[in-house]
Every structure is written in C-alpha cells, then in structure tokens.
Amino acid sequence: MRTLIKGGQVVTAVDDYVADVLIDGETIVAIAHDIQVDADKMVDAKGQYVLPGGIDPHVHMRMPFAGTETIDNFTSGTAAATRGGTTTVIDFPLQPRGQGLKETLDKWHGLLANDEPMIDVGFHMIVTDLSDGKLKEVPGLVDEGVTSFKLFMAYRNSLMADDETIFEAMCAAGENGMLTMMHAENGGVIDVLVRRALAAGKTGPKYHESTRPAKAEAEAVHSALAIAEIAESPVYIVHLSAEESLEHVANARKAGQPAYAETCPQYLFIDSSVYDLPDFEAAKYVFTPPARAKHHQDALWRGIAADDLAVVSTDHCPFCFADQKRMGIDDFSKIPNGGPGVESRLQLVHDGGVRTGRISLNRMVDILSTTPAKLFGLFPRKGTIAVGSDADIVIFDPSRKETLTVETQVSKVDYSSYEGREVTGSPTLVLSRGEVVCENGAVVGKAGRGRFIKRAQHLGTLPGTPITNSIRIS
Ligand code: URP
Ligand code: ZN
Ligand code: ZN
C-alpha cells in the first residue's frame, strides 16, 4: 500500500519546508518536491502541517491505584491517543513489592496482548523493591527493550521506594544504559500534612492541593538530582509542576548534569483555582502533583523554551468522576490520583504555546515527539519525518477550531479537564506505520494493530527500515 501526501508543510524539530511525502507499507520512502508516482491513496495536505506522530512517554492504562484501576485499557487509551495525534505511548508495568521484575513485565505483556492496542506501546518499569537479588534482573529488562525505570518518592506503603532502593536502582540504571524517571515529592512531609488536615476535619478535595505544597516537590527534586549525581546516572523528573522545582533542574543542567524533566498540560493550562469548585467538582483535578498557582505556568513555558523542560507528556491517568473519584467523597486522600489528557496534548500545546508565540512550531514537535524519541530509545525510527522512519504522521490543520468536551472524547473517562475550551488547530489525519488510524476526529484504526516496541538504551538509536529498493519518484 502506497500513500502519497501532497504539498504539506513538513515540520520536524529542526526543519520546516513544503514537500511531498511518499509512504510504502509502514515506512516513509521518499520526501521531495512534486513526487509523481502511482499511489493507492493520495492526501492533499496543502495549507496543513505534516508532523511526526506524537510520542507520549507517560501514560497509565489499567493502572492499579488506591483500590481501583484507571478506566482506560490499552484499547480505549490508545484509540484516544490517536485522536490527539499521538502514535506511540509508553506505559508503566508496576512491580508489586516482593514480585520479580521479569514476572511483572510478563504480566503487563499479557494485559497488552489481551487489550489489543491500536498504536505502538513501550514500557517503563515502576520499581518498588530490589531486595533478594532482583537487581540481577535489570540487564534482562534492557534485553526486552524496557530501558527506563520509574521510582516514587511518595505514597508510602504502596509505590514509594526508600532511598536505598532509589540509589541502587539509579546505579543499576546508569550501568545498563537506562534512564530513571522520578516522581519527586517528599512523601513523609505530605503524609503528615494529610493526617493533620483530616484530623482538623478538612476532608474535601481542595485539601489535596494544600497538603502537597510546591516546596515538598522542589525538595524531592533536589534530592533526586543529588542521588542521581552520586549514582553517576541520568535522571528524568516526571510531571514537574512548580517554578522552584524547575530552578533545581535548570541549575543541575547548567552544571552539566544529565538531568531532564517533563511537565504536562495540566500544569500549563489548569491553575489551583479549580480547587475552589463546589460540589466535589475539585475531585476531577486531584492529580499529583496538584495544579499550582497561576504564576508557575509562565515559569514552565519559559523552561520549555529554554530546554530545561525537555518534554510535555500527559500523565494520562483517568478515573471516572461518577464512581471512582467518589471513593474519596468523605476523605480526599482516598480519591484516586490522576486525570485524563492523552487526546488533547497536541491541540493544547499548539493553541496555548505556538499560537501565543511562547514556543516555535519546531519546538512543539521537539517536546511532543523528537526529544521523547531520543531520550527513550525510539529515534530515528520514531520522532521525525525522514526516509526510513516509521510512517507515523499527523496532518494538522492549524486553523481548524475545536471545542474540547467529554461529548466527543474517545477515552472511557466521564469528564474532560478542559470542558468547553476552544482550541485552534486540530489533527485531520493520523497515520500509524502508514495506516490511517484517525480521520477528522473519528477513530478508524483497528484494535490490535499496535505493537509492543522494544526500545534502545537511553539516547541510543533504534534504526528505521533501511530503504533498499530505490524508487523513481519522477
Ligand atoms: O496523579 C497522578 N499523577 N497519578 C498517576 C501516578 C503518577 O504519579 O504518575
Ligand atoms: Zn508520578
Ligand atoms: Zn504518572
């Protein structure tokens, strides 16, 4: 099957030019001006951007949390991703304490196979416990294409790893070419603040914010950077939300430390005023870290522009308002933490970042696709538009307006964090390895066509398909 995309504005992290793009099977095979070949499908992309498919390196499908599970499985979650121009997601097998890493990975492979994803999926490993020789399993993970850990400095008695485990995991990551992703919040401080709030009768969802202060995040970011430096290992701070945390990352980077960080749309577009919403509505915004005061947003945008924030991921972690969030109706600490977002990232960042002049179009592609591909061992197979790369492509109309709403959402979750927000710029066609998976907002991809993708080591390359047959393009 050959697809020819005609006359679009091809935008990568570094290029911006008008060209035709020819796809043969799953692969981009030619990029040139005015390609004249027979194709099974012609796409007129005049006036539209031709972007590399988004890579969202932080999503949670079927994540067990607080006695429930995120509402999207790999089928609905990956379908939702296509609507937002995302063609690869990286999810998180979660090691229950005492269980082996390989055993955990095998379980998640079972879930993935059962669910039939629509787009390609990679895995990071959430490590909670490295006792009893589990460290020896680390090289095996790399062989399986799982080349990053996630560690938690919060959620004692469930996800939280102690400093010893964090240090050992980071050392092993460094030795094995892996990247450690860190959920940086001081769990001990937060636990005390939560206990005190509840004891004082402060049980509503608004207290999620005041019990997880920015300083508790910044302190943990500082600590994570220091431990990574001692371990001589690269570190990636996930869902960074606060100006003071960003300062620590910026300082570490200035000093030459291999330190990276991501933020998420919820920290760029939602501020802490949502916690004043009446009638338990604030529970929709109980994600962690919480939404911050508005001034943090400007700092985060500056951090993106300056490359101190390397990636915007979504931390898609959807729990339904009607039943799951209500588990914490009498106690905010029992509200499952997380919010949806996998299908609105590109539109929000384009509308609120590019159209406002905060970042360039190239930078948008960089933070949503190219840099995640490079950091997480997917480049250049994914993350760019180049001959030999997977034909993961988004045709994006920069002037097409859409209103974000639960009514048109693909995710199974029952609310949108951005209900009623109008955005300008929308994907019109999304291709995953050459197949149309979403067209004008309608998901048309087949469940089960997505594959598990074995990733290369941190900053390593994953070669695309070599183009062996030269083709006549004119
Ligand atoms: O609230 C959040 N972010 N839930 C997902 C788990 C995590 O910390 O990433
Ligand atoms: Zn986290
Ligand atoms: Zn997360």
Using one digit for the tens of pLDDT, what is the confidence trace for 423-433?
999 999 999 99
Using one digit for the tens of pLDDT, what is the confidence trace for 223-247? 999 999 999 999 999 999 999 999 9
Mean pLDDT in residue range 333-340: 98
Ligand 1 atom 4: residue of nearest CA: 338
Mean pLDDT in residue range 423-452: 98
pLDDT at 331 over 60: yes
337 lines ligand 1 (CB under 6 A): yes
pLDDT at 364 over 60: yes
Mean pLDDT in residue range 339-365: 98
What is the phi/psi pair of residue 367, to 5°? -75, -25
Ligand 3 midpoint to CA 37 (Å): 45
The Cα angle at residue 80 between residues 79 and 82, in degrees rounded to 5: 70
Ligand 1 midpoint to CA 195 (Å): 20
Nearest ligand 1 atom to the CA of 152 is 8
Which ligand is closest to the CA of 90, given by its number?
Answer: 3
267 lines ligand 1 (CB under 6 A): no
183 lines ligand 1 (CB under 6 A): yes
Token readout for 454 is 């074995």
pLDDT at 137 over 60: yes
How far apart are the C-alpha atoms of 264 and 341, rounded to whole Å? 9
Please, which pLDDT band fits residue 467 given cuts at 50, 70 and 90?
A: confident
60 lines ligand 1 (CB under 6 A): yes
| Most ligand 1 atoms within 8 A of CB, residue of 317, 324, 334, 342 to mutate | 317
Ligand 3 midpoint to CA 58 (Å): 6
Ligand 1 midpoint to CA 407 (Å): 25
pLDDT at 470 over 70: no
Q: CB neighbours of 83 closer than 8 A, spacing ≥ 6?
A: 343, 410, 427, 430, 438, 441, 443
Instruction: Tell whether the torsion through CA atoms of 78, 80, 83 and 84 is positive or negative.
Output: negative
Q: Largest alpha-carbon pair distance within the chain?
A: 75
Using one digit for the tens of pLDDT, what is the confidence trace for 108-122? 999 999 999 999 999
Ligand 2 midpoint to CA 75 (Å): 22
241 lines ligand 1 (CB under 6 A): no
Rounded to whole angstroms, what are the CA distances from 240 to 36, 140, 236, 274, 405? 47, 30, 10, 19, 26
What pLDDT is stored for residue 271 in this prediction? 98
Ligand 1 midpoint to CA 422 (Å): 26
What is the phi/psi pair of residue 187, to 5°? -65, -35
Q: CB neighbours of 278 closer than 8 A, spacing ≥ 6?
A: none
Q: CB neighbours of 311 closer than 8 A, spacing ≥ 6?
A: 57, 260, 261, 262, 367, 368, 371, 372, 375
418 lines ligand 1 (CB under 6 A): no
317 lines ligand 1 (CB under 6 A): yes
